Structure 1
Amino acid sequence: MAQTEVSTPAQYRWAMLEALGKLKGHYHFELAKAREWYECQDRELEAYHRGKARGLLFAIETIEATEADLREAGVPLLEDDVVLTSLHSHDERRVGVA
């Protein structure tokens, strides 16, 4: 994976959005694994994946907040400015299995 140097606020914001997309993918994977282990009644592995999902959710929320601050400060993206929308409503962000 090639890394590029991030030197401007716009590049920093763009890199954050790319990382955010990857983290959301990992988050959904971990939730699916937690549900899978819940259905198999393996509480230890369910808790493991639920814990990983919680950590990912913390990272996602932190990056979303920082990105929103940059957007409000008027930092553009590299190309066209897009609105960051969360994949989840706040109520759906509960980590765990009912």
Structure 2
Amino acid sequence: MQPLVVLCLVLGWLGSQVSAANVLRIFERPFFHGHRASVSKDQCKDLKEFTLGVQSLKLPEEEGISCYFYGEPGCSGAPYRAYTTSRQDIQEYAGSLLCVTSTTST
């Protein structure tokens, strides 16, 4: 079955409950430029809440939810993975997110 993919575009900083500094702290690690690293469930949730419009997105509190930075294709099947395209993307846009709810466990 195909995974449900929802594109969450970052529209601005207004209404955010997570500061830009916190987002940068989460991703201030050497896995930029397409490399991968695990993030915790809470960090992934914070990133979803950081984007405007994400309040209409209801994701289940269970495994199979992954956060991807826009520009990285595919679904790894591993829950709570974060992908980045570049550090500059995060600084300028807080990372446009592809929030993926996988219906498979591959």
TM-score scaled to structure 1, two decimals?
0.29
Q: Flag the structure with higher strand content.
A: 2
Structure (1/2) with the larger helix percentage: 1
